[in-house]
Chains A and B, each alone.
Chain A
Amino acid sequence: MKLQACLLTMVLLWPATAAQGATDLPTPYPYPEPAWSPYLVGLLIGILVLSTLALAGKKIGASSAYSDAAGMIGRLMAPNHIATLPYYQESKPMIGWTLTIVLGVIMGSFLAAWTGGELTGTYLQDMWIARFGADSGLLRTSVALLGGALMAYGARMAGGCTSGHGISGTLQLAVSSWIAVICFFIGGIATAMLMYRM
């Protein structure tokens, strides 16, 4: 618990210290436009989630793909160690439905970006550069690593992510999902405000 508290403080202070040498973003910031209307995309995602529920009896999720992948890497490197972890005993790391969903997402997004001429190939994105400068690669690496790790830890604790809870669970009116998604946004808004607008 003490360790978790320390980690949390570090994480909350990190963006503040990182923002010391940052430049103010223009207001309003010139955000890019999506290729398709968000309402059309939302409608189609809603239909997609209903289709997977009806045809495969499964939810669309994403976060457990990373825990399965991490567990499978562990099975190749240290199988006996992985077998001692209660989480992996309960949920054996295998190539499952969610992992194939996430692999499909990578491919589908590539196709969409390719057909729309939106392939990027950049390490630092525009808004990051506008805020932290073009030579902030190390900062981005640490922030992304820490962010990814916290997010996966939180997702496992909360039982899902923005896909599993945020879309599949909320539309089935699950109380756990509505609580989780509200907390996702509270944490995300607070962190983003500290990092980009303070």
Chain B
Amino acid sequence: MDPASDSHSVPSENFSEERPGQTRDADSEPSDPQKWDWLEASPGKLAAGLFFGLVFGFLLQKGGVAKFDILIGVLLLENFIVVKVMLTAIIVGMIGSYFLRRMGVVELQINETKYGANVIGGLLFGIGFGLLAYCPGTNAAAVGQGNLDALVGVVGLLLGSYLYALSSKFSSGTASRWGKRGKLTLPEIVGISQGRFVAIAAPVLAAVLLLLEAIGF
């Protein structure tokens, strides 16, 4: 379907893997930033990204999750709109991706499990989320609908990303090494087939949504 995807089969998130062995090579052969490309994928693929992003942003705004009040309300456990959006998407997606994978249409696209980095990074992210009120995706949606404080969010996000890149020079990813388990899925750790897992998890998540409605949310 898409021949261009081969050129980038290495996910960018896999940084901090097998670093020490490569450092020497990188030093003896310094990469020239002038020779780095500016486009990571073909223009067609980037246009597709723009289109999918446009649909995503439209849905986020219509779902109310670009709104400051709704997002803070979710974190205060006073409304559950984000939870409803996410759980519905997860239920649809987990059933859909199960069948699409069986048909060979999609491949698993997940990140490695690193217990230390997932937990510490996740908590730091959460504190930042509470402070800013928007997450990276909804911050972009908030910019689109005209929330001017989200522009400060953009500056903060750029700054934090740079600080992470800067710290990658000193830390060599100590925390991100704890509990590395590779690309692990829930059915694998539970020890049942993916089909059976989805057959149990989808109704359980649907029951959570029904329960929320039943108690008045």
Contacts and interface: CB of A to CB of B under 8 A. Distances in A.
Contact of A62 (B14, B72, B106, B140): B140
Contact of B145 (A87, A110, A123, A190): A110
A106 B160 contact: no
A100 B129 contact: no
A96 B118 contact: no
Contacts of B123: 154, 183, 186-187
Interface in A60-85: 60, 62-75, 79-80, 82-85
Contacts, number: 602
Nearest to A125: B68
8 contacts: A64-B13, A147-B153, A152-B136, A154-B120, A154-B125, A157-B175, A167-B89, A189-B126
B61 A108 contact: yes
Given A101-B56, A112-B62, A159-B117, A70 B162 contact: yes
Contacts of A90: 12, 14-16
Given A46-B92, A56-B2, A71-B165, A104 B125 contact: no
Given A85-B168, A154-B121, A112 B145 contact: yes
B199 interface: no
Given A44-B59, A150-B125, A152-B161, A124 B152 contact: no
B143 A106 contact: yes
A176 B110 contact: yes
A55 B4 CA distance: 12
A175 B181 contact: yes
B63 interface: yes
B164 A87 contact: yes
Given A64-B13, A71-B162, A100-B53, 5 more contacts: A14-B131, A45-B88, A85-B166, A95-B38, A150-B131
A8 B147 CA distance: 27
A32 B61 CA distance: 13
Contacts of A121: 146, 148
A16 interface: no
Interface residues of B, number: 148
A116 B66 CA distance: 13
A188 B158 contact: no
Main secondary structure of the interface of A (DSSP, over half): helix
Given A48-B59, A90-B12, A42 B68 contact: no
B153 A56 contact: no
A52 B96 CA distance: 12
A53 B109 contact: yes
B11 to A, nearest CB: 9
Contacts of A134: none
Nearest to B69: A127
A143 B194 contact: no
Contacts of B5: 56-58
B32 A175 contact: no
Interface string B178-212: 00010111111100001001100100000001000
B156 to A, nearest CB: 2
Interface in B111-136: 111-115, 117-133, 135-136
A33 B64 contact: yes
A122 interface: yes
